[in-house]
Amino acid sequence: MKPVHIDKIIPILKREIKQFHMPIVSEIALRNDPFRVLISCILSLRTKDDTTAKASFRLFKVADTPKKLAAVPVKRIETLIYPVGFYKTKAVRIRDISKQLLEHYNSKVPDTIDELLKFHGVGRKTANIVVTIGFKKHGVAVDTHVHRISNRLGYVKTKNPEQTEFALRAKLPRKYWLIYNDLLVTWGQNICKPISPLCSQCQIRDFCNRVGVGVSR
């Protein structure tokens, strides 16, 4: 297996993703509101970006703070966020999280992974995203795209996203931690797709070991 030159890959990805839309959670992060990042990230789990975007904007138009969202009935939240995946479960969770923030955190979203993990429904991916793009603090957010591409490149050899996170924490230069998720998510949504990736259009193919890739275009 050839070595993976991450310092050559990152600049290429930074240049190439400008032609694509950024992930919706990152777009929402431009408002510098960690609460919106947290809620939109929960909505995005197992949901397409376009659906997440529409659901987030509908919800935030009605309630965009922990105090406001905690006062919205669960059934109303369900209506606002439908058809995101598991919308009924998510409606309960985001209302409960809003109440917790209001009652125990003075409506302020915690800025540490350990504290965020105390909220039911918040896993390591969500916690890392809130920390990295919500607070601009160091963390390594790993979703299915980041896990898949990191392994396809041959940069890590892991079985699940959590293993990938800790492998990247040990190997990925810290200067890339804040941008790595956005780069690979955007690349994964548009080029390095789960099934039949567009290898013929991939500008980092010369650095990729294509681990596990059978059919490609």
pTM across the whole model: 0.90
CATH numeric code, 6-22+139-207: 1.10.1670.10
| pLDDT at residue 203, rounded to an integer | 97
The residue ranges of the chain whose pLDDT is under 50 are: none
| pLDDT at residue 161, rounded to an integer | 96
Cα torsion 92, 108, 186, 152: sign: negative
| pLDDT at residue 23, rounded to an integer | 86
Cα torsion 10, 216, 53, 159: sign: negative
| pLDDT at residue 29, rounded to an integer | 83
The model's pLDDT over 135-159, given as tens digits with 9 standing for 90+, comes to 999 999 999 999 999 999 999 999 9
Residues annotated catalytic, as ranges: 125, 143
- Where are the chain's structural domains? 6-22+139-207, 24-135
Cα torsion 34, 39, 45, 50: sign: negative
Structure tokens belonging to residue 22: 């950024």
Q: Which residues of 8-22 are buried (b: 16+ CB within 10 A; e: fewer)?
A: ebbebbeebbeeeeb
CATH numeric code, 24-135: 1.10.340.30
Torsion of CA 170, 175, 179, 181, to 10 degrees: 0
| pLDDT at residue 32, rounded to an integer | 85
